[in-house]
Structures are given as structure tokens and as C-alpha cells.
Structure 1
Amino acid sequence: MAPTGRIRTWREHPLRDSACRLAALLLATSVFVSSGCLVPAQARDNDPDPAQSADASGSHHDRDGHRSDRRPDLKATESLTDGSVTIGGARVDYQAAAGTLVVHPKGWDDTASLMHGQATGSDHDDDKGDDGKAGKDAEASMFYVAYFKKGARAENRPITFLYNGGPGSSSVWLHMGAFGPRRVITANDSHTDAAPYSLVDNDESLLDSTDLVFIDAPGTGFSRIAGPDKEKSFYGIDQDGHAFSKFIAAFLSKYGRWNSPKYLFGESYGTTRSAVLANDLENDEEIDLNGVILLSQILNFDASIDQPGFNPGVDLPYVVALPTFAATAWYHHKLPAGTSTELKPLLAEVQHFATTDYLEALAQGAALDPAAREHIAERLHAYTGLPVDYLKKSDLRVDGGQFEKMLQDDTGTTTGRLDSRFSGPSMDPLSKEADYDPQSASIGSAYVSVFNDYVRRTLKYGQDHYYKPDVAEIGKAWDMQHQPPGADDKQQSSANVMPDLATAMKYNPKLKIQLNAGYFDLATPYYEGVYEMQHLPIPASLQGNIEFRQYESGHMVYANQAALKQLHDNVADFIRRTDNQHATSP
């Protein structure tokens, strides 16, 4: 995960630098982008022509390096293996399925594909069909790894669909670090030693409570896109939500899981996806979900603490990030004498200040009188450890990158963004913002290395293909315009998918939500998620469907082993309470 280009580009960055000024400085790695069919070792007869390869733009070349107009042949694939894992002292035997399903963008003419034998995206001929549909539409081959407990009846066994965010991130992080049957070991709050890395049986896998499906978004991992306008067809809030909706419906059909209790688990931008997806599944596929599990939430991009200075007059980001600033300063012993020394009482105090005196002061803007300005700066110093003069110079508004740079700047140290417990040497002592994320640099190699071994040796998939853990180009190309439920057209302002989640909850008033967050997450501050949930446009009675769980960890809560156990226990308990097993026979 070595940073390239402008270095402040992290894996799960909630968008910065987009046309809407939201976005992205997204991902930590620039990687080769290829398009083609990805198949398990035992399915070589399904391989595309090995003479065909793809360059970074998706163009294909023959053996001699000449450009080829042939499009990649995307197919549904599957590799089945068996395994077992012990969780909480109980052995779980499972079957693993690694494979791909082919999906198409909204508006695709499926009748044309049926006429030409392409119901599964198995054959392509660019000359087929007078209607211009078959073989010419964009499509995506979406890679997944599913784990099914052996001997369980579908209606008695929950199934959970998991994905990371970015946009442009594969699911390797949740798969290898959190809930898969095997887990990589990394250092808790410092740089993990280089290879060899340890891959161990995961006693915190969620296979004790649910079957698991880890999904790579189109263009990431082993997932590929093809066809005209393929980026426009899949790289965007609404396009991505539609692709995942179609994938889930196809998966339920392929594996006979329509009557299973169903859950979504998204992390970071994956929470944005979950809000859109929950509504799409409800309205387009007639699927009632049992629950949506959110980790490190961002639904309203106007609330992001990443460069809010480009959106003057909107002060909410500074308010909701302040408790995380305080937690970080507390962890690094930067709070002045007299400030609370216990974390939770401190955060309760800061949350109250942020939503009262601080919010009122920011709302006054230039009309704030000098005495009040001085008082607020002193309070901010007490909660952040930043110098009073610096706070006044910043107009009482410090964004995430500035805080990460300044908190430990006296020792030439940069504070982590995804997990502010991490620290690293500053790249540029004179920069105004942090130049990189120490946590991303500390753990990325371990995750990617062990997965590349595991998927090929254990799951028997992808021997001749490149796995793309992160794709920066996807974030740069992402369409951040979103059409919320009931709107006539897409929003022209910062994306906000709170209406999508609210609509899904109103259509299905039994839908339960669990929000998980780390106190030390400067990418998606924990109180931002709380604020969003408390401002969902839903009846007061539905607020009781939402529960909050917080941890002494960062964005990737599971990177802290103690927090991983708490996260596992909370999610497993949530599933047991909402899977409606009392309504089915044993």
C-alpha cells in the first residue's frame, strides 16, 4: 500500500477532490487495471483467450502487443472447497465458494440477452442482434467468496453480504481482518513487521451466527467491467447500488437463499452503499432485509471533516469531529492539565460543548465578538491540545488533515487518519496537513500478502489473475451525484443518502440498524454517524430500531484485537435478535 502521486490518498477515504468538491484523495495504491474473466484453477476451459490482455484503460492486446477490438468474455465462475473453524469452542464445518456473477447496468435489455443465449453473460458476439443490445452493453463480473455452514437449512441460517468502501476498495479488509474463517495478525497501534505474516484460524469469525458473502465491487479485487461506457455504468453512487442489488438477487437464486434471513454489512463508503442498496433491494427486488450493520458510517458528505473549508458556511463537520479530536488528544496525552482523564466522561462533555456553545459560536461567523472568540478558543485548546493562537488563526475551524499534522508536530510526528492511535514520521515538516496515513502504511502489506496466498492456495481461485485490493482511478471517476427517493433528478449538491436509508426503514418498519464506530476514527468520526442517525427523516417510533456500538479503536475497528471480539459479539447478538428464527421450525 505504498502511497503514490500526491501522498494524501488513503484506502477508505470518504470522497474529497471530486467535481462536487466532496471528494476523494481516495486510495493508497495505484494499480494495474485489467479486464477479463477470472476463473478457478479447475475451470481452465472457461478461461478467456490467454492471448488477450488488458492495459490500464481496459483496452485489449494480442500476443504481439497489437490492440485488439475483442471485448473480454465475462462469465459466471465457481470454485468449491471445504474447511472448518472453531469459534467459541464450537467447530463449524463449511463449504467455501469463490466465483463471479455477471451483472448489468440499469436499463439493460435482458430479453435481448435471452434471445441470444446470454442469460448468464456466458457468450459474446459484437455482431449479434439487430437491436444493438446483445453483446454490446456494459457488464460487470463481480467476484465473491461465500462461506456456507454445512448441514444448515436455508430458512434457518442467516446470510450476510459484506463489502468495504473507497469507492475503489475490494473486500480484502473485512475478509482477512474481521470475519472470514482465517485472519491476518497485525500490530495493534504500530507498524507491522514485514513478511512472513501470520494467518490464523479466526475465533471471531461470524460463521458461528451467519453465512458470509464477501463481495468485491466492480473493478476491484477479481471483479472486472467491460463494454461501452463501462466506467459510467458502474462507477457512481446509484450505478454501484444497482449492481450490488442485482448481484444479491442473482446470488440468492444461484444458492437457493431467498428464504434466509438477510443482512448487509458495509464499512466506510460501504455504509453509503448500504443505505442506497437497502432501498434498492426493497423497491426493485421486493426484498425485506432483517438488518443493516454499518461500520464507520458516512451518509451525508456535507458532514465530512476532510477539507470542509471548500464548503464555507457549513460548520457541521467541525462540530461532529470534535469528540474524535478529543479522543485522539487524550490517547496521545496531549490534553492540558485539568481536562478529564477518563475517556467516556470526556467525550460526553465534548459532545455537549460541540452541539451547544461551539455550534452557536460557529453559527455567528464574523459576528462573534472577540471575548467569546477567545473563550471558545480556550475551550477548544482544553479538548484538542492545539495551541490557542493556532485555533484563533484557523477561525476556530480545524479540519482533519490539519489536526493530524498539528497534534504531534512538535516531535515531527504525523497522527493517523484511519486510526488516530497510530503515528508516523512526518513526510514534510513544513506542510499544513498530514501527508499520509500511518495506519494504512502499517498494515496494508500484511492484508494483501496473506489474501493473495489464501485465495490461490486454499480457495483455488485466480492463479493467473491479478487481485486489485484498491483502485485509485475508480475513486477519481466516481459519479457522486445521487437521486434520492422521490426526487425528480439527481442532487447537484454534496451526496446525502440519509433519505435512502430512511425510506427503506419506512417501507419495512421491522428493519433493524446497528451502527458500529471507533472513537479514534478521523476518516468518519463516530459522532458524525450518531448525528446522522438522530437526524434521519423517520418517525420517532422507528428511532428505536437503531442501536449504537462504539469501540476504543479506529476506522477499521477490527484492527484492534480486543475491539474485534467486542465487534463480533455485538454483531452476532444483533443477528440472533433479528433473524426471526422463532417464526420457523427447527
Structure 2
Amino acid sequence: MKALLSAVALAALTAALPAHADDHSDKLSASAQTIEPQVRTRDLSGTFGGQRVNYRATIGETILTANDGKQEAVVVTTSYVKTPRDASRPVFFIYNGGPGSGSVWLQMGAFGPKRVAIPSDARDDGAPPYPIVDNPDSLLDVADLVFIDPPGTGFSYLTEGTDKTKYFGLEEDGKAVAEVIRRWINDNGRWNSPKYLGGESYGTTRTAMVVRELEGGTYNDVGLNGLILISTILDFAMREPTPGNEMAYVATLPNMAAAAYYHGKVQAPSVEAIAEEARQFAIGPYASALLKGQDLPAAERAAVRAELSRLTGLSETYLDNAELRVTSQRFYKELLRDRGLTIGRLDARYTGKDYDSAGETPDADPSFYGIDAGYTAAINSWARDTLGFETDREYQSIGSVGQHWNWKIGSGWGRNAYLNVAPYIGQAMRQNSQLRLFNAQGWYDFATPFFGAEYSLNRIGIPQDRVTLEYYDAGHMMYIRDEDRQKLSGDIRRFIRAR
């Protein structure tokens, strides 16, 4: 979201998270004037991973300029650095997704020194006040943390007259974030510190583009120790059910089985067990049947339909009418139609009640509107009231940046053709023998399906002995669930320490 809205995170991908469309494009830019970057610091302390840590919290602006010196973008970072300063400590650069999502989700939900306490059991966050509490699961005991709000997200913005196309795109955003990282490393004297990079949802896509700039670009000057991916989307064909793209149905089938299991529509010893059954069926008989198209024999169709019904909890009649191809949107509405409920996209554990039960798709995503208010309140309170950041700008937790996004890479690739950024990760790992990758996926996340992430990360060219996969009993923003936030923190802590 959120993740990147992941959460929050949502989360999120333009399609992986609700657009929260803002038609007022003037909010993305500021008046043309010389801007003096604002920096605010606070010296604080807390207990993280069982260790007492003194740290300096700094929220500040980095100004990106054009070749002619024009100030084009103001990028806000929030860093938490252990005091006294220790250059041997790892630094973890973190962002969320969208594109258009601020870093609020991972900062106030998972890894920052404070977090917003919202219900852990897939209930909505209700009304304020929302508790902002100490976060013992923060990673400050093992790494200094730098949260980045890319241009157009959070409090970051473009100045008046700046061409959006220079910053709002796969390559453009990657270059901007890479520059901010280089600037932070230089300003803080951390060139020889171990470095980790990662994000949530589209933030995992961004990671591939940023590592391309840092390790595979013109300068190739920033060595990385690890990539930390949360709710991963690298191969976009895995989530686009365009007619004829059968892999989108293959990739989401295990998610449907997991969601059906959670809501009592199918029986299995565990979510892990049903997920594995669905994986094997999806990549085997199901994929084979879909690829045969209209040549699929009647007997084989019947057998596949019966097993598909068993795994998803949907009727054979419905599956037959859908030609064995059920989109995620239809599944959210159909799974619990008999109960008058829909399920969440970011987190299928959440349920909602639509205006009526007759439609094909849900009115909204109950797993997003169930958490967004608490996170927005928390980041504004923390940044403005505690850290002292002064601005009249609204914090863009999920903004309109995605409406302007350039999904092409160079002159040949485009989102509607075949967009897969995983090869950039493979190239970086092959060129850096100590670069490792950690991947976290929720069983109930339809925005970035776990099977799609597995598929994209085990392709040729990615060294499998340096890839770690972990799973969680929640959705896109698995850290919303208390047990999974603790597990995620522990898993990443071990990953960092293992260098």
C-alpha cells in the first residue's frame, strides 16, 4: 500500500492499490522560487529487537536540479541513524510503491521506531484517535533506516514548470531515487557501509530499476549487500488477465485456493498445504488445459473443472460459464456471494458488504478502506508534531502520480507489451557475487500474487542460492497482523545479520 500499499501498503502499483485519484495536478508542483531545503532533527531513543538504541531522527528535503540548475524536484527523506554515528553499520534504504505511494506504510506500519496500532485481525481501523506506539519490531538495532518519498509522493513534489515526464516513469523514477540515495550516502559519509535496498509492491519494481542505476548504470558506483522485496511484482504479465494471457490465471489460482481455505470454502490441513496443491495443479494440468484453448477435449475439461472447483470453492457451473478463467475481480465478489460479502484485494482476509449482491465486481476494496485513515493520521502527526516538519502540503499517501506514469523502458518495452524488470535483478546479482535477495509474500495478497513472485524470481539468470523466500498469514501488507510483523522483522533481521 500501501505496501508497496505494499501495507500498505499499501502496497501498492497503480492497479495494485486504489488510485485515490487527485485531479488537482497543481498539488504535484510548487511555485517557481529558490527553495532552501528544510531539515529537522530530533534525538530520541527506543528499544528495538531487544536492544536499547539512541538515534537521531532527521526529516529533510533533497533538491534535484536540471542540467541548467533549475530546481525541479523536492524529495523528502526520513532517516533514523543510531548515535553515536557508526559508519560500519548497515544502511537500509526503503520506499513504498504505487507508483504514487508515500513511505508511510512501511515507516508507520513495519520498520520505523513508531507505528500506528490498528486492529490486527482484519477489522477496519475505525475513527481517530489512532494510537501511535513504540515499535520494538523496528530494525534500528541492526541497521540505520532511510525512508524515501519519491517525487510526487508523501511530502515530495515537483516545482512549478517541471515536466512530469522527467520524473514519473519506470526509468525516470529509478534515476531520481538512485540520485537521492547517492546524495544521502555522500552527505552522511556512508560510502563503505553495508547497504540494503528495498520496498513494497511497486517498490519492488522500483528496486529493480534503482539497482540497475546503482550497479548496472553508467557509474556503477554503489555496491549493495542485499535487496529486500515485500509483496513483489516484477513480471507484469503475471497480473494482467488480458484475453489470451493465460499465465495471469495460472499465477492467481494459488491465491484463490488460499482465500477459499481462509473463509472455509475448501478443506486442507493448512494454508501451506492448499497453496502447494494449487501450485502443482496450476503449473501442470490447469496451464496445459488453458494453453490448449478450443482444442481442449471435453473429458479433460471436465476433470480440470472439477479440480478447479475443489480448490477455489466456486461451483462447476460458474467455472464452466467463465471458460475456466476467473478474474480476480470476479472472484472477490463470487467467493462469498452466498453470505452477501466480498473479499479484499490487498488482503483477502478482509470482507465487505456492497450496495447489493448482484454485481460482478466489488464496490471497493475492504482491505484498503479498512486501514488507510489510521496510517494517514499517523504520518502527519509524527512528521509534523514530533519531528517538526513544516509544510502546508498534504501528505500524499496514495496520490495521482500513476495517472502520468511512463511504463516504457527505453524505446522497446511497454507495460502493455511485456514488462518484466526481474532481469535487472539477475544482472546485478551475477555482477555482484555477494548481493543477496530476500522476498516476503502474504498468502492472501491478490495485488501481487505469491506464485507470480515465485515464477519471476526463479527464471534463468537469477542465482537461486542467494534468494530467500518467506511467507506470511496475511495479505499485501502482512505487517498489519501483529504476528506477521514480528515474523517479518525477525526474518529481515536475520537476513541482514547473515552478511
**Separation (CA, whole Å) in 1 of partners of 2:407 and 2:106:** 24
Matched, 1:475 2:402: yes
For 1:292, the aligned partner's letter is: L
Which protein has the larger Cα radius of gyration, Structure 1 or Structure 2?
1
1:572 to 465, 472, 493: 493
1:105-504 aligned at under 5 Å gives the runs 108-109=66-67, 133-135=68-70, 139-154=72-87, 156-188=88-120, 189-226=122-159, 228-282=161-215, 283=217, 284-304=219-239, 308=241, 311-335=242-266, 339-471=267-399, 473-483=400-410, 489-491=412-414, 493-504=417-428
Secondary structure of 2:498's partner?
helix
Q: CA deviation at 1:28?
A: 4.5
2:51 to 90, 114, 128: 90
**Separation (CA, whole Å) in 1 of partners of 2:138 and 2:36:** 30
On the 8 A contact 2:10/2:96 being kept in 1, the answer is: no
User: Comparing 275-284 with 563-572, which one deviates more in the overlay?
Assistant: 275-284
Matched, 1:14 2:5: no
Give the aligned partner of residue 549 of structure 1: 470
Matched, 1:27 2:26: no
Alignment length (residue pairs): 488
On the 8 A contact 2:16/2:346 being kept in 1, the answer is: no
Secondary structure of 1:296's partner?
strand
Q: CA deviation at 1:408?
A: 0.7
On the 8 A contact 2:12/2:96 being kept in 1, the answer is: no
Matched, 1:508 2:445: no
* % same residue: 37
Give the aligned partner of residue 76 of structure 1: 37
Q: CA deviation at 1:229?
A: 4.9
**Separation (CA, whole Å) in 1 of partners of 2:472 and 2:10:** 21
Secondary structure of 1:470's partner?
coil
Distance 1:428 1:257, change over 3 A: farther
Q: CA deviation at 1:74?
A: 3.7
Distance 1:13 1:164, change over 3 A: closer
Name stretches of at least 5 consecutive residues in structure 1 with no aligned partner. Answer: 2-9, 16-23, 35-54, 61-70, 110-132, 579-586
User: Comparing 248-257 with 529-538, which one deviates more in the overlay?
Assistant: 529-538
Give the aligned partner of residue 453 of structure 2: 529
Q: CA deviation at 1:26?
A: 4.7
CA distances 1:488-523 after superposition (whole Å, capped 9, x unpaired):
744471321012111111221221000110001011
**Separation (CA, whole Å) in 2 of partners of 1:527 and 1:191:** 27
On the 8 A contact 1:12/1:27 being kept in 2, the answer is: no
Give the aligned partner of residue 4 of structure 2: none
Q: CA deviation at 1:33?
A: 5.6
Q: CA deviation at 1:429?
A: 2.5
CA distances 1:92-114 after superposition (whole Å, capped 9, x unpaired):
1100110011124xxx42xxxxx
Q: CA deviation at 1:237?
A: 0.4
User: Comparing 488-497 with 217-226, which one deviates more in the overlay?
Assistant: 488-497
Give the aligned partner of residue 63 of structure 1: none
**Separation (CA, whole Å) in 2 of partners of 1:278 and 1:438:** 34
Secondary structure of 2:40's partner?
strand
On the 8 A contact 2:260/2:312 being kept in 1, the answer is: yes
For 1:544, the aligned partner's letter is: D
On the 8 A contact 2:422/2:456 being kept in 1, the answer is: yes
Distance 1:458 1:536, change over 3 A: farther
On the 8 A contact 1:220/1:469 being kept in 2, the answer is: yes
On the 8 A contact 1:11/1:28 being kept in 2, the answer is: no
Q: CA deviation at 1:431?
A: 2.2
Q: CA deviation at 1:313?
A: 2.1
CA distances 1:268-309 after superposition (whole Å, capped 9, x unpaired):
0000000111121013341110000000000011111x5x1x
Q: CA deviation at 1:56?
A: 4.2
On the 8 A contact 2:17/2:346 being kept in 1, the answer is: no
On the 8 A contact 1:99/1:145 being kept in 2, the answer is: yes
TM-score of the pair, normalised by structure 2: 0.94
**Separation (CA, whole Å) in 2 of partners of 1:444 and 1:27:** 11
Secondary structure of 1:207's partner?
coil
Distance 1:379 1:300, change over 3 A: same
On the 8 A contact 1:75/1:141 being kept in 2, the answer is: no
Q: CA deviation at 1:11?
A: 5.5
Secondary structure of 1:360's partner?
helix
For 1:383, the aligned partner's letter is: L
1:41-80 aligned at under 5 Å gives the runs 55-56=26-27, 58=29, 60=31, 71-80=32-41
For 2:13, the aligned partner's letter is: P
For 1:266, the aligned partner's letter is: G
For 1:265, the aligned partner's letter is: G
Q: CA deviation at 1:415?
A: 0.1
Secondary structure of 2:60's partner?
strand
On the 8 A contact 1:11/1:27 being kept in 2, the answer is: no
Secondary structure of 1:257's partner?
coil
Q: CA deviation at 1:75?
A: 3.7
For 1:549, the aligned partner's letter is: E
**Separation (CA, whole Å) in 2 of partners of 1:224 and 1:555:** 26
Secondary structure of 2:232's partner?
coil
**Separation (CA, whole Å) in 2 of partners of 1:446 and 1:393:** 41
**Separation (CA, whole Å) in 2 of partners of 1:382 and 1:493:** 34
On the 8 A contact 1:74/1:140 being kept in 2, the answer is: no
Distance 1:33 1:253, change over 3 A: farther
On the 8 A contact 1:75/1:101 being kept in 2, the answer is: no
Distance 1:89 1:513, change over 3 A: closer
Q: Tell me the C-alpha RMSD between the 2 structures.
A: 1.9
Which protein has greater RCO, CA pairs closer than 8 Å, 6+ apart? 2
**Separation (CA, whole Å) in 2 of partners of 1:206 and 1:179:** 6
On the 8 A contact 1:428/1:435 being kept in 2, the answer is: no
On the 8 A contact 1:318/1:398 being kept in 2, the answer is: yes
Secondary structure of 1:346's partner?
helix
**Separation (CA, whole Å) in 1 of partners of 2:393 and 2:116:** 22
**Separation (CA, whole Å) in 1 of partners of 2:385 and 2:152:** 23
Distance 1:158 1:203, change over 3 A: same
